[in-house]
Structure 1
Amino acid sequence: MRLSARTHYALRAAAELAAAPPGPVPAERISTAQRIPRRFLDNILLQLRRAGLIHSQRGPDGGYWLARPADQITLAEVIVVIEGVPQDNEAFFGASEPLEKVWAALRENETRVLTGVTLAHLAGGSLPTL
C-alpha cells in the first residue's frame, strides 16, 4: 500500500491530537511537534474536520481536538478520509489470474491491520498484536 505524504501527515496530526491533554490543541503546536508544514496541515485539519473526525474552535484559546475518543478512531478511518476508498479495476488474464487472489489477500490483511489499530494505540505507544 502506498500512502501519500498528505496521508502520513494526517496520521501524525491525528496521533498528536490523541496524545494531547484534553482541550483544544493549536495547529501551530501540531505543526511544530510533527514537523508538518503549517499550510499543508491547515488543509489536512480542514479535511479531517469536514469528515467529522475532529472538532475545531477559533480564537486565542482555540485549536483542534478529536471528535470521538481516540480508541474509537482507527487508522483506516483517517486514511479513507484523505485517500478515499480504493477502487479495484484491475483485471487478470491467463497465467496472471492467480494474482487476483494474492492482491485480495493483501488488501484483506491491510484492512485488518488498519482497522485494528486506533489512535489510542499510537498515543499509548503500544500496538495490538498484528
Structure 2
Amino acid sequence: MRVSAKADYALRALIEMAARADDEGARPVSAEELGRLQDIPHNFLQAILADLRKAGIVHAQRGQSGGWKLAKAAGAVSVADVIRAVDGPLVSVYGLRPEAVSYNERADALQRVWIAARHSLRDVFEQVSVADLASGTLPPDVAALTEDEDAWQPH
C-alpha cells in the first residue's frame, strides 16, 4: 500500500487540531498556521481541509478568531476515516473496490488476496484514532505490530 501525501498531510493537520483541542479548549487554527506547523503547502492543505469538511471530520469557523477545528471528538475519527475522506477506498484495483473485480478461474484467488489486504488494513486503520496519534499512544494490538523487528526492515 502507498500512503499518499494527501492522507499523510490530512492526518498531520488533524493531529495539530486534536492537540490544540486538548491544550486550548478547541480553539480554531488557521490553515496558514497548520501549514506552517506541519510544513504542508497552503493550496494543497486547503483542498485537503475541503475534503475533510465534506466528510464531516472538520468544520470551518469564520471571523477574526476563525479557523479550522474538529467537527467531532478526535477519538471518534479513525485513520481509515481520514484516508477514505481524502483518497477514497482503502484498497482499489484499477479504480474498483476488490469485491467488484472479476477474474477468470485461473486468477480468481487474486481477488481474495485484495480482500484480505483490505481486511488487514482495516484491522490497523480503524483501530487507530486521531486522539491516539495526538497523544502518541497506539492501541495495544497496533503497538505490538511495531515491536516485531521485521516490521521495520525494508523488503
Identity among equivalent positions (%) equals 41
Cross-structure match for 2:51: 47
Cross-structure match for 1:100: 111
Cross-structure match for 2:102: 91
Cross-structure match for 1:6: 6
Task: State the TM-score, normalized to the length of structure 1.
Answer: 0.89
- Over the residues paired in the alignment, what is the CA RMSD in angstroms? 1.6
Query: How far is 1:4 from its partner?
Result: 2.2
Query: How far is 1:95 from its partner?
Result: 4.4
Structure 1 runs (4+) greater than 6 angstroms displaced: none
1:1-130 correspondence to structure 2 within 5 Å: 1-20=1-20, 21=23, 22-85=26-89, 86=92, 87-88=97-98, 89-128=100-139, 129-130=141-142
98-107 or 9-18: bigger deviation: 98-107
In 2: Cα distance, 1:14 partner to 1:65 partner: 8
In 2: Cα distance, 1:7 partner to 1:123 partner: 16
In 2: Cα distance, 1:29 partner to 1:67 partner: 18
Higher relative contact order (CA 8 A, sep 6+): 1
Give the gaps of 5 or more residues in structure 1.
none
Give the gaps of 5 or more residues in structure 2.
143-155
In 1: Cα distance, 2:50 partner to 2:62 partner: 13
Query: How far is 1:8 from its partner?
Result: 1.6
1:64 aligns to what SS in structure 2?
Answer: strand
In 1: Cα distance, 2:6 partner to 2:109 partner: 33
In 2: Cα distance, 1:57 partner to 1:95 partner: 55
Listed one character per residue, the Cα deviations across residues 68-103 of structure 1 (whole Å, up to 9, x for unaligned) are 111111011111111123422433445433333322
In 2: Cα distance, 1:106 partner to 1:58 partner: 41
In 2: Cα distance, 1:94 partner to 1:51 partner: 38
Query: How far is 1:60 from its partner?
Result: 2.2
In 2: Cα distance, 1:69 partner to 1:61 partner: 21
1:116 aligns to what SS in structure 2?
Answer: coil
Query: How many residues in Structure 1 have an aligned counterpart in Structure 2?
Result: 130
In 2: Cα distance, 1:125 partner to 1:34 partner: 16
